[in-house]
Amino acid sequence: MSTNYYLPEDNAPLPPKHAEVLTTACDYCIVACGYKVYRWPLGSGNGGEKASENAFGIDFPSAPLQDWVAPAQHNVVMHGGVPHNIVITPDKDTTVVNTNGDSSMRGGLIAQKCYNPKTPTRDRLTTPMVRIFGTLQPVPWDFALDIAAAVGNHVIENHGANAYSVKTYSYQYVENTYAITKYARRHINTASFTFHDTPSDVTSTPGFRDAGFDNFGPSYDDWGSAETLLVCGTDPYETKTILFTQHIMPAIQRGQKVIMLNPRETAGVAYAKKHGGLHLQIFPGSDNLVVGAIARVIMENGWEDSEWIEKWVNNNWESSSGFGQGTRNTPWQWRTTWGKFQTKGYEDYKKWVMAQNEYDPVYAAEKAGIAVEDIYKAAEMMAKPVNGRRPKTSIGIEKGFYWSNNTGNTEAIASLATLCGAGGRPGQVVGRFGGHQRGGTSGGGYPRNKSPEKVPGRRRRALDTDRWMVSGHTRFAHVIGTTWIQSMCGSQGLEKTFHELVVANPHQVRDYDKQAIIDTLKKRADSGGMVVINQDIYLRDPIGARFADIVFPAATWGEEDFVRANGERRLRLYSKFYDAPGDSKPDWWIIAQLAKRMGFDGFDWKNSNEVCEESSRFSRGNRKAYHMIKVAAHKEGKTLHEKLRELGTDGIQGPTFYNSETGELSGTKRLHDTTLTQADLEKIGLADGAEGANMVNKKMTHFNSQTGKVNINKHPWNLFSDFWEWLSPKEDELWFSSGRINEIWQSGFDDVERRPYVTQRWPENWVEIHPDDAAKRGIESGDQVMMYSDRVARHKNTILGVKGDDFQFSSLMKNGHIELTKAAVTAVAIVTPGVKKGMMYANMIDMRQPSNALQAAVVDWISGNYNYKMGVARVKKLGESKYKTEFRSMSFAPRNIV
Amino acid sequence: MSTEVNDKKEKSAAHGKCMMTRRSFLMSSGAATAVSTVGVSLFPGAANAAKSMAEVVGYSRKKIAKLSDLKDNQPFDFNYPDGVRNNQCMIVKMGGAQAGGGVGKQKDIVAFSYLCTHQGGPLQGSYKVAGDQRVMGQCPFHLSTFDLRRHGIIVSGQAYESLPQVLIEIDGDNLYAVGMLGLVFGRSTNLKS
């Protein structure tokens, strides 16, 4: 491909017998399908169509479900400085995850991710750059690193560690995240630290945390062996594709009933409905009401799982009055004032739910915009015993749900799960389906005590890095593998602040001397401005292109050996198979060079395996603990990476254990596994508890709570209802929400602009509008529209909470901490009955027109997360896009056709 | 249901010329003629193992249906580009819905491969009318759906290539398949040497 136009080709080379074969997993979504990389030198001869002539060992044309090479699965890369063909196809031999070699479109196209200057990847960053005379100019590593370290140290010494803000991805391989967190949290020790998807380093699912559920306890088999599956805030076909096609879809064919709770009907929802499923198509943010009402119907009918509750739910003594250090030391008390969430056990919870008028199914259904019968039907499907036998029910949630009313929704769903007996049994589980893969290993604790942010009740909360920056406290912004701006709420307001602090500051580099450059940037920081450094694989606009003073080019997937886990904690080695472009280096290397220049010790790694081996002990006890892989590897005279490479695409599920008697390395199918027997434990070498470096903790056989049993918690609607009522559409406004779509899910950071095939499908920002709403506004599919609002709420100050409700939205508003700002985003309209009437649904991030610009920049006041799905906007037609009349790209066909 | 109307192959220089015209027309931009599979020119000194794009010269011209036999929104099956394997195709007149690459007065006659470009799932029987949209899918294997008004691009799903579109020519009442855009699932080339 030499252009961004998709021009279908009608042939593709087959890998020859002499091709080398390496394993990896997809770089994108949480599911992490296993892939094989076939590599052979250019000009050494391609494979033939006979089984004896190609690396697959099959005859071509191949049969359905057999290996095939689509033209987009071939690329040419440099390996050891020599051009090589590569073909990357799903691994047909894998027995897990993408069983039999299934693949998503994102992964299917992943060969196109590799740098090849002939393709749209040609703009990969290949050299460090420093902004001199307004232009980012290539410089040697030493030059860029010396400047960054000198200015960084100056900021820490003169303005404190919290003036050095680090905003980083949480997921891009354990080697990198370990190095980054060791640098930022252990050495710089800044409280102004957070990950790509939240303004502050806080838990994504407070309700799971409080109940004692790990986000990723279930195995993929569990989602398949449930008889009723409640899916909240996602369509797992759109996002988590292969989890759906390989685990949920076959289950549906066997009779599994799926209930989907979300505002939009897409392919998976339509498929589930066709097979006896139920779609609760709700308005954004009304989930809590519906979940509470379902819980109420279950308890009114006595359908709750009494046996499970009796055995596994904390009672008054265990949850409230006396156990251990008591409730003071439970996580919910760190987030809010006492009494809002904890109960004295099941009966107390039941009493509370029954007393809440908003959980009356009639009220809940009306607010949510669904039929009240559907609430009763959902309760029946989930919990009503048939012939004396309860259905095996599981619950999976994702961002549409937990980023709508973060605390309220997750507390509610955790309690509903417990009522249904979902938690720690095969087919009866609760968890997140997931977004990015799990590639975080902590190299240092978050210094919470240094955070000036305090919620009522003297509890400190992780610092909100957006508000901290807007308030002018951030003097040095170190941004790693994220856009910061577009991915946060109220993005256009945030961008304005970046501009004021960086570009509009008078101290700009207009010199050729390194020391003079350093001095200028120091002056910028001292004058109240901000210096920005950015590590990434492409130059991002605006964080890199407009704001960064220094840009470091990163090497990524396929360019270094890396380790990461998927949504069932499955660890794999992601093999290096080609040369990183130009001078780009992996993030761990960049961080190490910077750290050494700043005078920090412990950054002398020679390769990524050394980083991984150092990090492994910090994984002990967590859900993807990989330390015992290292123990096993060293026993066998191998490195950690080598041992993991042997495990190929099947990998191993964390936490891992090593049986020193048998020399066997074992993984863990599910967490909170209440069905594990003594014999199971003996087999993995844990007959007498942890032995050697093995670490066994509560979450293996119990839950993550003070007692190991589940907390059944309240989930008050009124913590959120004032915001919801204020936000609800007025006059001709519509709800405005956003989210992901299958074709670019978790891959938009590099495929939507750089795969002609993807670009033709989604060439521009888009928004779905219901036909009735569209007709009223004279909008048709293909029209260019403007979505706009003059009431984008933005919490503008870093404040201290004193009174109990100081952070409640209505109090913030009353006390003048909320400013209402304007925002506007254009898009191409897609008129479809798939989206609920009264709302719009747009792409979650188009870099050019981020939907988040219209979403309220007000965090969930209990947890500190943004509720990204909550917004309102008006919409009007601007004119017609070319897609309305041409027939090449951007389909307007509905996604819910079955 | 596959019906062989006419398996006679017509290869000629004139046909090749005609093909170029058709292909240019289909891709609308005129920029569609030179597509190389690998960036060999980037690596001076490396042997050139890439096959040149031969699709515009080797396809057979095959009579597949009569215009007067086509009924609105009822696909008619045929085999193309050859008689080997992985050759199940359909042609359909989409009831006046204009399409990229569509022929006929209303530009609503299109032809596509029946093999899903994800894992080769059979798309027979999945042609659908949804308002003014025309799709094939969901594929029974993994639910991919393709937009027949837009050169078979993916609507929703997994496939890594658009559904291969068969190039059609009209000659009086006869419809001829004359080439294909895109590689048919399971093949390494559409053209057997």
What residues are paired with A361 via a beta bridge? none
User: Is residue B167 scored above 60 in pLDDT?
Assistant: yes
Q: Per the CB < 8 Å rule, is B130 touching A14?
A: no
In this complex, the residue of A60, A741, A888 whose CB is nearest that of residue B100 is: A888
Same domain assignment for residues A214 and A193: no
pLDDT of A455:
80
Q: Evaluate whether A465 touches A494 at the Cβ level (below 8 Å).
A: no
Kindly state whether residue A100 falls inside one of the protein's structural domains.
Answer: yes
Same domain assignment for residues A497 and A561: yes
User: Is residue B5 scored above 50 in pLDDT?
Assistant: no
The tokens of A632 are what?
């096993």
Mean pLDDT (chain A, rounded): 95
- For residue A67, what pLDDT band results from cuts at 50, 70 and 90? very high
Q: Are strands A164-168 and A476-480 parallel, antiparallel or unpaired?
A: parallel
Q: Evaluate whether B181 touches B23 at the Cβ level (below 8 Å).
A: yes
Same domain assignment for residues A118 and A148: no
Q: Per the CB < 8 Å rule, is B161 touching A895?
A: no
CA atoms within 13 A on the CB side of A620: 15
pLDDT in tens, B97-149: 999 999 999 999 999 999 999 999 999 999 999 999 999 999 999 999 999 99
Torsion region of B120: left, alpha or beta (phi above 0 gives left; psi -120 to 50 gives alpha): left
Q: Per the CB < 8 Å rule, is A895 touching B29?
A: no
pLDDT of A390:
96
- Chain B CB contacts of A888 below 8 Å: 27-28, 100, 150-151
Residue bearing the bigger pLDDT, B132 or A328: B132
The ranges assigned to domains in chain B are: 61-181
Interface check for B3 against chain A (CB to CB < 8 A): the answer is: no
pLDDT of A4:
62
Mean pLDDT (chain B, rounded): 79
Q: Evaluate whether A586 touches A554 at the Cβ level (below 8 Å).
A: yes
What residues are paired with A279 via a beta bridge? A260
- Chain A CB contacts of B85 below 8 Å: 61
Mean pLDDT of A768-786: 98
Q: Evaluate whether B109 touches B91 at the Cβ level (below 8 Å).
A: yes
- Chain B CB contacts of A267 below 8 Å: 138, 143, 145, 156-157
- Chain B CB contacts of A5 below 8 Å: 27, 29, 31-32
Q: Per the CB < 8 Å rule, is A887 touching B40?
A: no
Same domain assignment for residues A39 and A155: no
pLDDT of A329:
57
User: Is residue B4 scored above 90 in pLDDT?
Assistant: no
Same domain assignment for residues A263 and A334: yes
Report which of B115, B162, B28, B166 is spatially closest to residue A759, judged by C-alpha positions.
B162
Report which of A296, A179, A195, A278 is spatially closest to residue A231, judged by C-alpha positions.
A278
- Chain B CB contacts of A7 below 8 Å: 27, 32, 35
Whether the complex's predicted ipTM is more than 0.90 is answered with: yes
According to CATH, what is the number of the domain B61-181? 2.102.10.10
Q: Are strands B88-93 and B109-113 parallel, antiparallel or unpaired?
A: antiparallel
Q: How far apart are CA A269 and CA A145, in angstroms?
A: 50
State the nearest Cα–Cα gap between B67 and chain A, in angstroms: 23
Could you tell me how many CB contacts below 8 A there are between chain A and chain B?
A: 232
Report which of A667, A703, A672 is spatially closest to residue A683, judged by C-alpha positions.
A667
Report which of A232, A238, A340 is spatially closest to residue A284, judged by C-alpha positions.
A232
Interface check for A46 against chain B (CB to CB < 8 A): the answer is: yes
One-letter amino acid for residue A565 of the chain: A
Beta strands in A91-139 (DSSP E): 129-132, 135-138
Kindly state whether residue A367 falls inside one of the protein's structural domains.
Answer: yes
- Chain A CB contacts of B38 below 8 Å: 42, 74-76, 85, 118
Kindly state whether residue A116 falls inside one of the protein's structural domains.
Answer: yes
Residue A464's φ and ψ, nearest 5 degrees, are: -80, 105
Residue bearing the bigger pLDDT, B51 or A316: A316
Question: Which residue of chain B is at minimal alpha-carbon distance from A893?
Answer: B133
Instruction: Give the percent of chain A with pLDDT over 90.
Output: 89
In this complex, the residue of A10, A76, A268 whose CB is nearest that of residue B38 is: A76
Mean pLDDT of A414-420: 98
Q: Evaluate whether A446 touches A461 at the Cβ level (below 8 Å).
A: no
Lowest-pLDDT range, A80-94, A302-316, A448-462?
A448-462
pLDDT of B163:
98
The tokens of B121 are what?
């799932």
pLDDT of B38:
30
pLDDT in tens, A560-579: 999 999 999 999 999 999 99
Mean pLDDT of A294-306: 98
Report the CATH number at residue A47. Answer: 2.60.40.4210
Same domain assignment for residues A418 and A472: no
- Chain B CB contacts of A62 below 8 Å: 120, 186
Interface check for B20 against chain A (CB to CB < 8 A): the answer is: no
Q: How far apart are CA B164 and CA B80, in angstroms?
A: 11
What residues are paired with B166 via a beta bridge? B111, B180
Q: Per the CB < 8 Å rule, is A42 touching B47?
A: yes
Instruction: Give the percent of chain A with pLDDT over 70.
Output: 97
Report which of A571, A553, A584 is spatially closest to residue A481, judged by C-alpha positions.
A553
CA atoms within 13 A on the CB side of A578: 26
Same domain assignment for residues A168 and A228: no
pLDDT in tens, A452-505: 988 876 678 899 999 999 999 999 999 999 999 999 999 998 999 999 999 999
Mean pLDDT of A166-190: 98
Kindly state whether residue A614 falls inside one of the protein's structural domains.
Answer: no
Residue A785's φ and ψ, nearest 5 degrees, are: -125, 160
Report which of A808, A785, A781 is spatially closest to residue A734, judged by C-alpha positions.
A785
Q: Which residues of B are catalytic?
A: 118, 142
Same domain assignment for residues A374 and A510: no
- For residue A333, what pLDDT band results from cuts at 50, 70 and 90? low
Same domain assignment for residues A101 and A160: no
Range of the domain at A640: 622-696
Q: How far apart are CA A215 and CA A208, in angstroms?
A: 7
Q: Per the CB < 8 Å rule, is A895 touching B156?
A: yes
What residues are paired with A835 via a beta bridge? A264
- For residue A330, what pLDDT band results from cuts at 50, 70 and 90? low
Coil vs helix vs strand at A695: coil
What Cα–Cα distance (Å) separates residue A550 from each residue in A14, A509, A546, A883? 43, 11, 11, 39
Same domain assignment for residues A759 and A813: yes
pLDDT in tens, A112-147: 999 999 999 999 999 999 999 999 999 999 999 999
In this complex, the residue of B38, B99, B158 whose CB is nearest that of residue A105 is: B158
Q: Per the CB < 8 Å rule, is B85 touching A104?
A: no
pLDDT in tens, A262-282: 999 999 999 999 999 999 999
Number of domains in chain A: 5
User: Is residue A303 scored above 60 in pLDDT?
Assistant: yes
One-letter amino acid for residue B190 of the chain: N
- Chain B CB contacts of A46 below 8 Å: 49
Residue A669's φ and ψ, nearest 5 degrees, are: -70, -50
Report the CATH number at residue A357. Answer: 3.40.228.10
Residues of chain A numbered 234-273 and touching chain B (CB < 8 Å):
237-238, 241, 245, 249, 266-268, 271
State the nearest Cα–Cα gap between A61 and chain B, in angstroms: 4
pLDDT of A331:
63
- For residue A342, what pLDDT band results from cuts at 50, 70 and 90? confident
Lowest-pLDDT range, A380-389, A414-423, A488-497, A603-612?
A488-497
- For residue B2, what pLDDT band results from cuts at 50, 70 and 90? very low
Same domain assignment for residues A729 and A759: yes
Residue A866's φ and ψ, nearest 5 degrees, are: -75, 145
Kindly state whether residue A70 falls inside one of the protein's structural domains.
Answer: yes
Lowest-pLDDT range, A434-438, A547-551, A859-863?
A859-863
The tokens of A728 are what?
């609800």
- For residue B84, what pLDDT band results from cuts at 50, 70 and 90? confident
pLDDT of A380:
98
Q: Evaluate whether A635 touches A685 at the Cβ level (below 8 Å).
A: no
DSSP letter string, A773-823: HHHHTT--TTEEEEEEEEEEEEE----B--STTTTSHHHHHHTT-EEEEEE
Lowest-pLDDT range, A5-14, A840-849, B15-24, B32-41?
B32-41
Interface check for A18 against chain B (CB to CB < 8 A): the answer is: no
pLDDT of A750:
86
Same domain assignment for residues A215 and A349: yes
What Cα–Cα distance (Å) separates residue A769 from each residue in A271, A407, A730, A833? 22, 29, 17, 8
Coil vs helix vs strand at A606: coil
Q: Evaluate whether A844 touches A739 at the Cβ level (below 8 Å).
A: yes
- For residue A538, what pLDDT band results from cuts at 50, 70 and 90? very high
Q: Evaluate whether A305 touches A385 at the Cβ level (below 8 Å).
A: no
User: Is residue A556 scored above 70 in pLDDT?
Assistant: yes
Kindly state whether residue A710 falls inside one of the protein's structural domains.
Answer: no
pLDDT of A753:
87
pLDDT of A749:
87
Residues of chain B numbered 104-163 and touching chain A (CB < 8 Å):
115, 117-122, 128, 130, 133-135, 137-138, 141-143, 145, 147, 149-151, 153-162
- For residue A767, what pLDDT band results from cuts at 50, 70 and 90? very high
Coil vs helix vs strand at A771: helix
pLDDT of A318:
84
Report the CATH number at residue A576. Answer: 3.40.50.740
